[in-house]
Structure 1
Amino acid sequence: KPTLAAERQFRSSFEGALSYFVATNNHSAEDSGFAIKNWTTVSFENDDIITSGSTAMAMGNYFFTNLAGTRVKVEYSFGYMLDAAGTLRINLHHSSMPYEIGVTRDMVLAAQKEWGDGIVRIATAKINGEDFEQVAHDHITALYAYGNGSVLFKPTLAAE
Protein backbone atom coordinates (compact mmCIF):
# COMPACT_ATOMS: atom_id res chain seq x y z
CA LYS A 1 0.00 0.00 0.00
CA PRO A 2 1.96 3.03 -1.21
CA THR A 3 1.98 6.16 0.95
CA LEU A 4 0.48 8.62 -1.54
CA ALA A 5 -1.74 6.33 -3.62
CA ALA A 6 -5.44 7.19 -3.41
CA GLU A 7 -7.19 5.98 -6.57
CA ARG A 8 -5.31 2.68 -6.91
CA GLN A 9 -4.10 2.42 -3.36
CA PHE A 10 -3.13 -1.27 -3.47
CA ARG A 11 -0.29 -2.46 -5.73
CA SER A 12 -0.12 -6.25 -5.76
CA SER A 13 1.68 -6.44 -9.12
CA PHE A 14 5.22 -5.60 -10.20
CA GLU A 15 3.80 -3.08 -12.70
CA GLY A 16 1.87 -1.31 -9.94
CA ALA A 17 4.97 -0.99 -7.76
CA LEU A 18 7.08 0.22 -10.69
CA SER A 19 4.47 2.84 -11.55
CA TYR A 20 4.44 4.16 -7.99
CA PHE A 21 8.24 4.34 -7.81
CA VAL A 22 9.02 5.84 -11.24
CA ALA A 23 5.71 6.51 -13.08
CA THR A 24 7.05 5.40 -16.47
CA ASN A 25 4.67 2.61 -17.46
CA ASN A 26 1.25 4.35 -17.46
CA HIS A 27 -0.12 1.87 -14.91
CA SER A 28 -1.74 4.50 -12.66
CA ALA A 29 -2.46 8.05 -13.78
CA GLU A 30 -2.12 9.40 -10.22
CA ASP A 31 1.52 8.28 -9.92
CA SER A 32 4.29 10.84 -10.23
CA GLY A 33 7.26 8.69 -9.27
CA PHE A 34 7.73 8.67 -5.52
CA ALA A 35 11.27 7.26 -5.73
CA ILE A 36 12.41 10.01 -8.12
CA LYS A 37 11.49 12.96 -5.87
CA ASN A 38 15.14 13.94 -5.31
CA TRP A 39 15.53 12.00 -2.07
CA THR A 40 19.08 12.07 -0.73
CA THR A 41 18.69 9.76 2.27
CA VAL A 42 16.21 7.32 3.72
CA SER A 43 16.56 6.20 7.32
CA PHE A 44 14.56 3.68 9.35
CA GLU A 45 13.44 3.94 12.96
CA ASN A 46 12.12 0.47 13.76
CA ASP A 47 9.54 0.21 16.50
CA ASP A 48 10.02 -3.55 16.40
CA ILE A 49 11.19 -6.40 14.19
CA ILE A 50 9.61 -9.81 14.68
CA THR A 51 11.22 -12.88 13.13
CA SER A 52 9.66 -16.32 12.83
CA GLY A 53 11.35 -19.03 10.79
CA SER A 54 11.50 -17.91 7.17
CA THR A 55 9.44 -14.74 7.72
CA ALA A 56 9.78 -11.42 9.50
CA MET A 57 7.79 -8.26 10.09
CA ALA A 58 9.06 -4.76 10.80
CA MET A 59 7.10 -1.69 11.80
CA GLY A 60 8.10 1.88 12.55
CA ASN A 61 8.87 5.18 10.88
CA TYR A 62 11.10 5.94 7.98
CA PHE A 63 12.38 9.34 7.06
CA PHE A 64 12.99 10.67 3.56
CA THR A 65 15.30 13.68 3.17
CA ASN A 66 15.29 15.68 -0.08
CA LEU A 67 17.87 17.95 -1.73
CA ALA A 68 16.57 20.96 0.21
CA GLY A 69 17.16 19.11 3.47
CA THR A 70 13.46 18.70 4.22
CA ARG A 71 12.80 15.51 6.18
CA VAL A 72 9.48 13.71 5.66
CA LYS A 73 8.27 11.19 8.23
CA VAL A 74 6.28 8.18 6.98
CA GLU A 75 4.89 5.25 8.98
CA TYR A 76 5.56 1.77 7.60
CA SER A 77 4.96 -1.94 8.03
CA PHE A 78 7.04 -4.40 6.02
CA GLY A 79 6.70 -8.16 5.76
CA TYR A 80 9.67 -10.24 4.65
CA MET A 81 10.13 -13.83 3.48
CA LEU A 82 13.01 -15.99 2.39
CA ASP A 83 12.60 -17.15 -1.21
CA ALA A 84 13.69 -20.59 -2.47
CA ALA A 85 17.26 -19.33 -2.94
CA GLY A 86 17.41 -17.95 0.61
CA THR A 87 17.16 -14.30 -0.44
CA LEU A 88 15.13 -12.04 1.84
CA ARG A 89 12.23 -10.50 -0.13
CA ILE A 90 9.56 -7.96 0.78
CA ASN A 91 6.09 -9.51 0.57
CA LEU A 92 4.13 -6.83 2.43
CA HIS A 93 4.62 -3.08 2.24
CA HIS A 94 2.25 -0.60 3.82
CA SER A 95 3.13 3.07 4.20
CA SER A 96 1.08 6.00 5.37
CA MET A 97 1.55 9.57 6.45
CA PRO A 98 1.36 10.02 10.23
CA TYR A 99 -2.04 10.82 11.65
CA GLU A 100 -2.43 14.55 12.00
CA ILE A 101 -3.40 15.67 15.46
CA GLY A 102 -6.79 17.33 15.56
CA VAL A 103 -7.92 20.33 17.52
CA THR A 104 -7.38 19.97 21.26
CA ARG A 105 -9.11 21.62 24.20
CA ASP A 106 -5.90 23.49 25.05
CA MET A 107 -5.73 24.84 21.50
CA VAL A 108 -9.29 26.19 21.78
CA LEU A 109 -8.58 27.77 25.17
CA ALA A 110 -5.44 29.43 23.79
CA ALA A 111 -7.37 30.70 20.74
CA GLN A 112 -10.09 32.12 22.97
CA LYS A 113 -7.50 33.94 25.10
CA GLU A 114 -5.79 35.26 21.97
CA TRP A 115 -9.15 36.49 20.63
CA GLY A 116 -10.00 38.29 23.88
CA ASP A 117 -6.53 39.83 24.11
CA GLY A 118 -6.93 41.01 20.50
CA ILE A 119 -10.22 42.75 21.24
CA VAL A 120 -8.53 44.56 24.14
CA ARG A 121 -5.61 45.55 21.85
CA ILE A 122 -8.07 47.04 19.33
CA ALA A 123 -9.87 49.01 22.07
CA THR A 124 -6.56 50.18 23.56
CA ALA A 125 -5.32 51.32 20.15
CA LYS A 126 -8.53 53.36 19.69
CA ILE A 127 -8.22 54.94 23.15
CA ASN A 128 -4.56 55.82 22.52
CA GLY A 129 -5.27 57.38 19.11
CA GLU A 130 -3.34 54.63 17.33
CA ASP A 131 -4.22 52.88 14.05
CA PHE A 132 -6.96 50.70 15.57
CA GLU A 133 -8.19 49.68 12.11
CA GLN A 134 -4.80 48.12 11.36
CA VAL A 135 -4.80 46.39 14.75
CA ALA A 136 -8.27 45.00 13.93
CA HIS A 137 -7.10 43.97 10.47
CA ASP A 138 -4.14 42.10 11.95
CA HIS A 139 -6.38 40.47 14.57
CA ILE A 140 -8.87 39.21 11.97
CA THR A 141 -6.11 38.05 9.62
CA ALA A 142 -4.37 36.12 12.40
CA LEU A 143 -7.43 34.43 13.90
CA TYR A 144 -10.23 34.09 11.36
CA ALA A 145 -10.41 31.63 8.46
CA TYR A 146 -11.27 34.25 5.82
CA GLY A 147 -9.41 33.16 2.69
CA ASN A 148 -9.02 29.61 4.04
CA GLY A 149 -12.61 28.43 4.26
CA SER A 150 -16.11 29.43 5.29
CA VAL A 151 -16.57 31.68 8.31
CA LEU A 152 -19.81 32.00 10.26
CA PHE A 153 -19.79 35.30 12.14
CA LYS A 154 -22.74 36.81 13.98
CA PRO A 155 -21.64 40.16 15.48
CA THR A 156 -22.60 40.71 19.11
CA LEU A 157 -24.48 43.97 18.60
CA ALA A 158 -25.99 43.27 15.16
CA ALA A 159 -29.77 43.25 15.55
CA GLU A 160 -30.96 42.90 11.97
Structure 2
Amino acid sequence: MGRPFSPLCRAEPASSRRRLCGSGSSQDDSRTRLGGGRHEHNGNTHNAYNSNHSSRRARHLIQHRSLAPAMSNLWLLLPSLVLATSLPLAAAVDSGEESLAARSPLVAALRRAESQPPLDEAVSPIGPIEVEEAQKAWADGVLQIGAKFEQSLTAAQKEAASFVDDLYGHGLQSVLFKPSQSTSKPFRTSREGVISHLAGGYGEFPEDQGFAVSSKWNRIRYENAGIEIEGLQALAMGNSFFRDTFTGNETKLEYTFGYFRAKGGKLKINLHFSSIPYTNHSNATQSLSVTEDEVRAAQKAFADSIIEIGAYHEKGWHYYERTAMFVDTMFAFDFGPVLFKAAE
Protein backbone atom coordinates (compact mmCIF):
# COMPACT_ATOMS: atom_id res chain seq x y z
CA MET A 1 0.00 0.00 0.00
CA GLY A 2 1.42 3.42 -1.07
CA ARG A 3 2.44 6.11 1.40
CA PRO A 4 0.20 9.25 1.64
CA PHE A 5 1.27 12.21 -0.47
CA SER A 6 2.57 15.06 1.71
CA PRO A 7 1.35 18.62 0.99
CA LEU A 8 4.92 19.80 1.44
CA CYS A 9 5.91 17.87 -1.63
CA ARG A 10 3.62 19.81 -3.96
CA ALA A 11 5.83 22.87 -3.91
CA GLU A 12 9.03 20.94 -4.71
CA PRO A 13 10.48 20.07 -8.14
CA ALA A 14 10.06 16.54 -9.35
CA SER A 15 13.61 15.53 -8.42
CA SER A 16 13.25 16.89 -4.88
CA ARG A 17 9.84 15.35 -4.56
CA ARG A 18 11.29 11.97 -5.42
CA ARG A 19 14.08 12.55 -2.92
CA LEU A 20 11.85 13.67 -0.04
CA CYS A 21 8.75 11.61 -0.61
CA GLY A 22 10.18 8.42 -2.17
CA SER A 23 7.89 8.51 -5.18
CA GLY A 24 8.40 7.51 -8.79
CA SER A 25 11.56 5.74 -10.02
CA SER A 26 13.49 6.63 -6.89
CA GLN A 27 11.18 4.32 -5.00
CA ASP A 28 12.03 1.45 -7.38
CA ASP A 29 15.74 2.23 -7.11
CA SER A 30 15.51 2.19 -3.32
CA ARG A 31 13.69 -1.11 -3.39
CA THR A 32 16.42 -2.67 -5.62
CA ARG A 33 19.31 -1.01 -3.76
CA LEU A 34 18.20 -1.91 -0.27
CA GLY A 35 17.27 -5.47 -1.10
CA GLY A 36 15.47 -7.69 1.34
CA GLY A 37 11.73 -7.79 1.92
CA ARG A 38 9.12 -5.16 1.24
CA HIS A 39 8.58 -4.59 4.94
CA GLU A 40 12.23 -3.65 5.44
CA HIS A 41 12.20 -1.30 2.47
CA ASN A 42 9.05 0.49 3.63
CA GLY A 43 10.46 0.95 7.09
CA ASN A 44 13.66 2.53 5.80
CA THR A 45 11.77 4.72 3.36
CA HIS A 46 9.45 5.95 6.14
CA ASN A 47 12.42 6.79 8.30
CA ALA A 48 13.96 8.82 5.48
CA TYR A 49 10.64 10.57 4.83
CA ASN A 50 10.09 11.44 8.48
CA SER A 51 13.60 12.84 8.77
CA ASN A 52 13.27 14.96 5.63
CA HIS A 53 9.76 16.10 6.61
CA SER A 54 10.95 17.31 10.01
CA SER A 55 13.80 19.18 8.38
CA ARG A 56 11.35 20.81 5.97
CA ARG A 57 9.06 21.99 8.80
CA ALA A 58 12.02 23.37 10.69
CA ARG A 59 13.06 25.43 7.69
CA HIS A 60 9.51 26.82 7.38
CA LEU A 61 9.42 27.81 11.04
CA ILE A 62 12.76 29.57 10.74
CA GLN A 63 11.55 31.46 7.68
CA HIS A 64 8.26 32.48 9.36
CA ARG A 65 10.02 33.67 12.51
CA SER A 66 12.45 35.70 10.46
CA LEU A 67 9.48 37.38 8.73
CA ALA A 68 7.69 38.29 11.99
CA PRO A 69 9.73 41.46 12.70
CA ALA A 70 9.24 42.57 9.12
CA MET A 71 5.48 42.06 9.38
CA SER A 72 5.31 44.10 12.60
CA ASN A 73 7.36 46.86 10.97
CA LEU A 74 4.92 46.84 8.07
CA TRP A 75 2.10 47.98 10.37
CA LEU A 76 4.28 50.86 11.57
CA LEU A 77 4.99 51.84 7.98
CA LEU A 78 1.32 51.66 6.92
CA PRO A 79 0.50 55.39 7.53
CA SER A 80 3.56 56.39 5.51
CA LEU A 81 2.51 54.06 2.72
CA VAL A 82 -0.98 55.61 2.69
CA LEU A 83 0.51 59.10 2.59
CA ALA A 84 2.93 58.15 -0.16
CA THR A 85 0.03 56.73 -2.13
CA SER A 86 -2.22 59.73 -1.59
CA LEU A 87 0.34 62.38 -2.56
CA PRO A 88 0.62 61.35 -6.22
CA LEU A 89 -3.14 60.98 -6.40
CA ALA A 90 -3.68 64.40 -4.86
CA ALA A 91 -1.16 65.81 -7.32
CA ALA A 92 -3.12 64.18 -10.09
CA VAL A 93 -6.25 65.95 -8.88
CA ASP A 94 -4.44 69.30 -8.81
CA SER A 95 -3.07 68.74 -12.31
CA GLY A 96 -6.52 67.99 -13.67
CA GLU A 97 -6.17 64.22 -14.08
CA GLU A 98 -9.69 63.58 -12.88
CA SER A 99 -9.81 60.06 -14.29
CA LEU A 100 -7.07 58.91 -11.89
CA ALA A 101 -8.72 60.61 -8.94
CA ALA A 102 -12.12 59.21 -9.84
CA ARG A 103 -10.71 55.67 -9.73
CA SER A 104 -9.12 56.19 -6.31
CA PRO A 105 -11.29 55.52 -3.24
CA LEU A 106 -8.62 57.17 -1.11
CA VAL A 107 -8.84 60.48 -2.96
CA ALA A 108 -12.63 60.29 -2.86
CA ALA A 109 -12.48 59.88 0.92
CA LEU A 110 -10.08 62.82 1.21
CA ARG A 111 -12.46 64.95 -0.84
CA ARG A 112 -15.39 64.06 1.39
CA ALA A 113 -13.39 64.93 4.52
CA GLU A 114 -12.35 68.29 3.08
CA SER A 115 -15.93 69.13 2.12
CA GLN A 116 -17.24 68.64 5.68
CA PRO A 117 -17.68 71.90 7.65
CA PRO A 118 -15.49 72.20 10.74
CA LEU A 119 -17.10 71.37 14.05
CA ASP A 120 -17.77 74.47 16.16
CA GLU A 121 -20.16 75.77 18.79
CA ALA A 122 -22.96 75.97 16.22
CA VAL A 123 -23.60 72.23 16.61
CA SER A 124 -23.34 72.16 20.41
CA PRO A 125 -26.56 71.70 22.39
CA ILE A 126 -27.73 74.67 24.45
CA GLY A 127 -27.07 74.55 28.19
CA PRO A 128 -29.26 76.05 30.96
CA ILE A 129 -26.44 78.37 32.07
CA GLU A 130 -26.37 79.85 28.57
CA VAL A 131 -30.09 80.61 28.83
CA GLU A 132 -29.57 82.43 32.12
CA GLU A 133 -26.68 84.38 30.58
CA ALA A 134 -28.92 85.37 27.66
CA GLN A 135 -31.57 86.58 30.12
CA LYS A 136 -28.99 88.69 31.95
CA ALA A 137 -27.83 90.17 28.64
CA TRP A 138 -31.43 91.15 27.86
CA ALA A 139 -31.89 92.80 31.27
CA ASP A 140 -28.60 94.70 31.00
CA GLY A 141 -29.54 95.86 27.51
CA VAL A 142 -32.90 97.25 28.62
CA LEU A 143 -31.23 99.19 31.44
CA GLN A 144 -28.68 100.54 28.97
CA ILE A 145 -31.45 101.81 26.68
CA GLY A 146 -32.94 103.66 29.64
CA ALA A 147 -29.56 105.19 30.45
CA LYS A 148 -29.19 106.42 26.86
CA PHE A 149 -32.60 108.08 27.10
CA GLU A 150 -31.11 110.55 29.59
CA GLN A 151 -29.07 111.86 26.64
CA SER A 152 -31.90 111.93 24.09
CA LEU A 153 -34.68 109.85 22.59
CA THR A 154 -32.59 109.44 19.43
CA ALA A 155 -29.72 107.98 21.45
CA ALA A 156 -32.12 105.58 23.17
CA GLN A 157 -33.61 104.44 19.85
CA LYS A 158 -30.15 103.90 18.39
CA GLU A 159 -29.20 101.82 21.42
CA ALA A 160 -32.46 99.86 21.12
CA ALA A 161 -31.73 99.06 17.46
CA SER A 162 -28.26 97.77 18.35
CA PHE A 163 -29.75 95.78 21.24
CA VAL A 164 -32.33 94.09 19.00
CA ASP A 165 -29.76 93.27 16.31
CA ASP A 166 -27.49 91.70 18.92
CA LEU A 167 -30.01 89.62 20.88
CA TYR A 168 -32.88 88.85 18.47
CA GLY A 169 -32.70 86.54 15.46
CA HIS A 170 -34.24 88.72 12.74
CA GLY A 171 -32.71 87.82 9.38
CA LEU A 172 -31.72 84.36 10.61
CA GLN A 173 -35.06 82.91 11.67
CA SER A 174 -38.64 84.06 12.09
CA VAL A 175 -39.07 86.00 15.33
CA LEU A 176 -42.44 85.96 17.14
CA PHE A 177 -42.96 88.86 19.55
CA LYS A 178 -45.97 89.70 21.72
CA PRO A 179 -45.35 92.69 24.03
CA SER A 180 -47.41 93.59 27.07
CA GLN A 181 -49.78 96.59 26.97
CA SER A 182 -50.29 96.51 23.22
CA THR A 183 -53.74 96.45 21.64
CA SER A 184 -53.52 97.76 18.06
CA LYS A 185 -50.67 95.44 17.00
CA PRO A 186 -50.12 92.90 19.74
CA PHE A 187 -48.38 90.32 17.52
CA ARG A 188 -45.22 91.41 15.74
CA THR A 189 -42.66 89.68 13.54
CA SER A 190 -40.53 92.62 12.40
CA ARG A 191 -37.36 94.09 13.85
CA GLU A 192 -39.01 97.52 14.00
CA GLY A 193 -41.83 96.14 16.14
CA VAL A 194 -39.38 95.18 18.91
CA ILE A 195 -37.46 98.47 18.71
CA SER A 196 -40.69 100.47 18.90
CA HIS A 197 -41.83 98.58 22.00
CA LEU A 198 -38.54 99.32 23.75
CA ALA A 199 -37.92 102.94 22.72
CA GLY A 200 -41.05 104.12 20.89
CA GLY A 201 -40.91 106.57 18.01
CA TYR A 202 -42.12 104.37 15.14
CA GLY A 203 -45.22 105.64 13.34
CA GLU A 204 -46.36 102.10 12.56
CA PHE A 205 -46.88 101.52 16.30
CA PRO A 206 -48.39 104.77 17.64
CA GLU A 207 -49.40 103.37 21.02
CA ASP A 208 -45.80 102.46 21.97
CA GLN A 209 -44.36 104.79 24.60
CA GLY A 210 -41.15 102.79 24.93
CA PHE A 211 -41.00 100.20 27.68
CA ALA A 212 -37.31 100.82 28.40
CA VAL A 213 -37.65 104.63 28.48
CA SER A 214 -41.14 105.27 29.88
CA SER A 215 -40.04 103.98 33.28
CA LYS A 216 -36.71 104.43 34.99
CA TRP A 217 -35.70 100.89 35.90
CA ASN A 218 -32.53 100.20 37.89
CA ARG A 219 -32.82 96.44 38.28
CA ILE A 220 -34.39 93.53 36.39
CA ARG A 221 -34.53 90.03 37.81
CA TYR A 222 -36.03 86.71 36.74
CA GLU A 223 -37.81 83.83 38.40
CA ASN A 224 -37.75 80.98 35.89
CA ALA A 225 -40.65 78.58 36.26
CA GLY A 226 -38.78 76.22 33.96
CA ILE A 227 -36.21 75.95 31.18
CA GLU A 228 -36.75 73.34 28.47
CA ILE A 229 -33.96 72.51 26.03
CA GLU A 230 -34.25 70.44 22.86
CA GLY A 231 -30.92 70.39 21.04
CA LEU A 232 -30.36 73.80 19.47
CA GLN A 233 -33.66 75.28 20.74
CA ALA A 234 -34.45 76.39 24.30
CA LEU A 235 -37.57 77.76 26.02
CA ALA A 236 -37.77 79.67 29.30
CA MET A 237 -40.94 80.72 31.14
CA GLY A 238 -41.51 82.59 34.38
CA ASN A 239 -41.86 85.98 36.05
CA SER A 240 -39.67 89.05 35.57
CA PHE A 241 -39.49 91.97 38.01
CA PHE A 242 -38.58 95.56 37.10
CA ARG A 243 -37.58 97.80 40.01
CA ASP A 244 -38.30 101.51 39.81
CA THR A 245 -35.40 103.85 40.55
CA PHE A 246 -37.40 106.35 42.62
CA THR A 247 -39.74 104.21 44.70
CA GLY A 248 -38.02 100.83 44.74
CA ASN A 249 -41.33 99.21 43.82
CA GLU A 250 -41.24 96.25 41.43
CA THR A 251 -43.47 95.77 38.41
CA LYS A 252 -44.16 92.11 37.71
CA LEU A 253 -44.53 90.70 34.20
CA GLU A 254 -44.93 87.16 32.90
CA TYR A 255 -42.69 86.04 30.04
CA THR A 256 -41.85 83.26 27.65
CA PHE A 257 -38.55 83.38 25.77
CA GLY A 258 -37.39 81.12 22.97
CA TYR A 259 -33.72 80.87 22.01
CA PHE A 260 -31.80 79.21 19.18
CA ARG A 261 -28.07 78.87 18.61
CA ALA A 262 -26.91 81.02 15.72
CA LYS A 263 -23.77 80.60 13.64
CA GLY A 264 -20.75 81.25 15.82
CA GLY A 265 -22.46 79.85 18.92
CA LYS A 266 -24.38 82.90 20.19
CA LEU A 267 -27.93 82.45 21.48
CA LYS A 268 -30.57 84.52 19.69
CA ILE A 269 -34.21 85.15 20.61
CA ASN A 270 -36.85 83.80 18.22
CA LEU A 271 -39.81 83.93 20.63
CA HIS A 272 -40.70 86.65 23.16
CA PHE A 273 -44.09 86.76 24.87
CA SER A 274 -44.78 89.24 27.68
CA SER A 275 -47.98 89.86 29.63
CA ILE A 276 -49.30 91.46 32.80
CA PRO A 277 -50.40 88.91 35.43
CA TYR A 278 -54.10 88.18 35.25
CA THR A 279 -56.39 89.40 38.02
CA ASN A 280 -59.51 87.38 38.78
CA HIS A 281 -62.13 90.06 39.48
CA SER A 282 -64.71 87.59 40.75
CA ASN A 283 -62.36 86.44 43.48
CA ALA A 284 -61.42 90.03 44.34
CA THR A 285 -65.03 90.99 45.09
CA GLN A 286 -65.30 88.02 47.44
CA SER A 287 -62.10 88.78 49.34
CA LEU A 288 -61.89 89.03 53.09
CA SER A 289 -62.43 92.22 55.06
CA VAL A 290 -59.90 95.01 54.60
CA THR A 291 -57.39 95.45 57.41
CA GLU A 292 -55.88 98.66 58.74
CA ASP A 293 -52.40 97.57 57.63
CA GLU A 294 -53.67 97.17 54.08
CA VAL A 295 -55.13 100.67 54.12
CA ARG A 296 -51.85 102.16 55.34
CA ALA A 297 -49.92 100.21 52.67
CA ALA A 298 -52.27 101.50 49.96
CA GLN A 299 -51.85 105.07 51.18
CA LYS A 300 -48.05 104.77 51.09
CA ALA A 301 -48.16 103.32 47.56
CA PHE A 302 -50.38 106.22 46.48
CA ALA A 303 -47.96 108.80 47.92
CA ASP A 304 -44.90 107.07 46.39
CA SER A 305 -46.56 107.03 42.98
CA ILE A 306 -47.33 110.76 43.09
CA ILE A 307 -43.68 111.51 43.92
CA GLU A 308 -42.56 109.17 41.15
CA ILE A 309 -44.76 110.87 38.53
CA GLY A 310 -43.34 114.25 39.55
CA ALA A 311 -39.78 112.94 39.19
CA TYR A 312 -40.54 111.62 35.72
CA HIS A 313 -42.02 114.96 34.68
CA GLU A 314 -38.98 116.83 35.99
CA LYS A 315 -36.59 114.58 34.03
CA GLY A 316 -38.62 114.91 30.85
CA TRP A 317 -39.41 111.20 30.75
CA HIS A 318 -42.72 109.62 29.77
CA TYR A 319 -44.58 110.67 32.90
CA TYR A 320 -47.95 110.24 31.18
CA GLU A 321 -47.43 106.51 30.88
CA ARG A 322 -46.42 106.30 34.53
CA THR A 323 -49.57 108.20 35.44
CA ALA A 324 -51.69 105.73 33.47
CA MET A 325 -49.99 102.82 35.21
CA PHE A 326 -50.59 104.49 38.57
CA VAL A 327 -54.31 104.93 37.87
CA ASP A 328 -54.71 101.35 36.64
CA THR A 329 -52.97 100.05 39.75
CA MET A 330 -54.51 102.24 42.45
CA PHE A 331 -58.05 102.86 41.18
CA ALA A 332 -60.81 100.29 40.68
CA PHE A 333 -62.13 101.35 37.27
CA ASP A 334 -62.06 97.72 36.15
CA PHE A 335 -64.53 96.80 38.89
CA GLY A 336 -67.09 99.55 38.58
CA PRO A 337 -67.72 103.29 38.98
CA VAL A 338 -65.07 105.32 40.80
CA LEU A 339 -65.97 108.54 42.63
CA PHE A 340 -63.19 111.11 42.35
CA LYS A 341 -63.05 114.75 43.50
CA ALA A 342 -59.96 116.67 42.34
CA ALA A 343 -58.42 119.35 44.56
CA GLU A 344 -58.28 121.93 41.78
Match of 2:201 among 8, 17, 24: 24
Asked whether 1:4 is paired with 2:181, we answer yes
Which has a greater percent of strand? 1
Gaps of 5+ in 1: 112-144, 150-160
| Secondary structure in 2 matching 1:104 | helix
State the AA in 2 paired with 1:62.
S
When residues 83 and 146 of structure 1 are mapped into structure 2, their CA distance, relative to the original with a 3 A threshold, is closer
The Cα of 1:38 is off from its aligned counterpart by: 0.8
Asked whether 1:100 is paired with 2:290, we answer no
When residues 84 and 7 of structure 1 are mapped into structure 2, their CA distance, relative to the original with a 3 A threshold, is same
Paired position in structure 1 for 2:238: 60
Match of 1:74 among 247, 250, 253: 253
Q: Distance in 2 between matches of 1:49 and 1:32?
A: 31
The Cα of 1:24 is off from its aligned counterpart by: 2.4
- After superposition, residues 112-151 of structure 1 pair within 5 angstroms as 148=338
Describe the superposition over 1:19-54 as per-residue Cα deviations: whole angstroms up to 9, x where unpaired.
010012323000000011211111000000011111
Paired position in structure 2 for 1:124: none
Paired position in structure 2 for 1:15: 192
When residues 55 and 148 of structure 1 are mapped into structure 2, their CA distance, relative to the original with a 3 A threshold, is same
The Cα of 1:105 is off from its aligned counterpart by: 8.8
State the AA in 1 paired with 2:217.
W
CA contact (8 A) 2:201 2:208 kept: no
Q: Distance in 2 between matches of 1:25 and 1:104?
A: 39
| Secondary structure in 2 matching 1:19 | helix
Question: Which range is displaced more, 1-10 or 18-27?
Answer: 18-27
Q: Which runs of 4+ in 1 moved over 3 A?
A: 108-111
Which has a greater percent of helix? 2
Describe the superposition over 1:94-130 as per-residue Cα deviations: whole angstroms up to 9, x where unpaired.
010001022339827859xxxxxxxxxxxxxxxxxxx
Gaps of 5+ in 2: 1-177, 291-334, 340-344
Q: Distance in 2 between matches of 1:146 and 1:14?
A: 39
Alignment length (residue pairs):
116
RMSD: 2.4
Q: What's the TM-score, normalizing by structure 2?
A: 0.31
Paired position in structure 1 for 2:263: 84
